[in-house]
Structure 1
Amino acid sequence: MSKRDAVFPPDRHALYEAHGYSPAIRSGEFLFVSGQVGSRPDGSAEPDFAAQVRRAFANLEAVLAAGGCSFDDIVDVMTFHTDPENQLPAVMEAKNRVFPQSPYPSWTAIGVTWLAGFDFEIKVVARIPAS
């Protein structure tokens, strides 16, 4: 079995250590990014939902960069929402900023009842660009 090639951003937040997971795993030409939430450096949630979504995207961007990727390299997105119907406008605003035009990545949105104190999470798979 091959060893996991873990990827961490320079300013890793407290949740990685507290819950024992890697922000991303590099495997072949793909980067598998763990669900990113709107956590502050100490692991606490942004209280305002729109700010939490923006911070989740910023945390995702930092992990992608650490793995040699950008939003343009994302091929698959999965998001988790505690109140999808009411949260959609804030999520779409952030989504449209990072994916302003087609072709868009594939996207699956899932309504959930619990996200460990958060209200939004985004998980992606990106293709690592050839160097």
Structure 2
Amino acid sequence: MRDVIVPKALRDAVAASGFSPAVRAGDFLFLTGATGGRADGTMPDTAAEQTDIALAKVLEILRTAGGTVGSVVELTSYHTDIDADFSAVDTRLRAILHEPLPAWTAVEVARLRRPGARVEFRIVAHLPQPSETAP
């Protein structure tokens, strides 16, 4: 079974793009890559601010699905300049996700889809569904 998770705050973006913010498959939630663009469409200049905004979106999706920051089990971060930005991203991730961090892979890429994006996050969360018991 596959359920799409769409927080109220992202409904317009979903309608415009057709992408699902997250898809639940069994006890796992797979989130679409999150970049740090502001609600007005502008992109902050720093990887730290982009990280804060992107992870705020992630946390909103997790809350909508019934999860928390502790539900995140895997994180892949994509960086357009890993040497320049990794330290700032690492600092913000530790402040927002808290230690112990989820399994994390960091990858440098030539560019990201959103103009001005310096970092993008792909997240997998574990959200066990309540077991149904027979009456």
Report the TM-score, using the length of structure 2 for normalisation: 0.84
SS state at 2:110 partner: coil
Match for 1:30 among 28, 37, 41?
28
**Bigger mean CA offset, 54-63 vs 93-102:** 93-102
- Consecutive unaligned residues of structure 1, counting only runs of 5 or more, are none
Aligned amino acid, residue 112 of structure 1: V
Gaps of 5+ in 2: 131-135
**In structure 2, the residue corresponding to 1:44 is in which secondary structure?**
coil
- State the secondary structure of the residue aligned to 2:120: strand
Counterpart contact for 1:57–1:94, Cα < 8 Å? no
Q: Percent same amino acid among aligned pairs?
A: 31
Structure 2 residue 105 is matched with structure 1 residue 108:
yes
Question: Is 2:118 the counterpart of 1:119?
Answer: yes
Distance in structure 1 (CA, Å) of the matches to 2:17 and 2:98: 33
Distance 1:61 1:121 in 2: 15
**Equivalences for 1:1-131 in 2 at 5 Å?**
2=1, 4-12=2-10, 15-102=13-100, 104-116=101-113, 117=115, 118-131=117-130
TM-score w.r.t. the length of structure 1 is 0.86
User: Contact (CA 8 Å) 1:7, 1:26: kept in 2 or not?
Assistant: yes
Count of residues in Structure 1 that have an aligned counterpart in Structure 2: 128
RMSD across aligned C-alpha pairs, in angstroms?
1.9
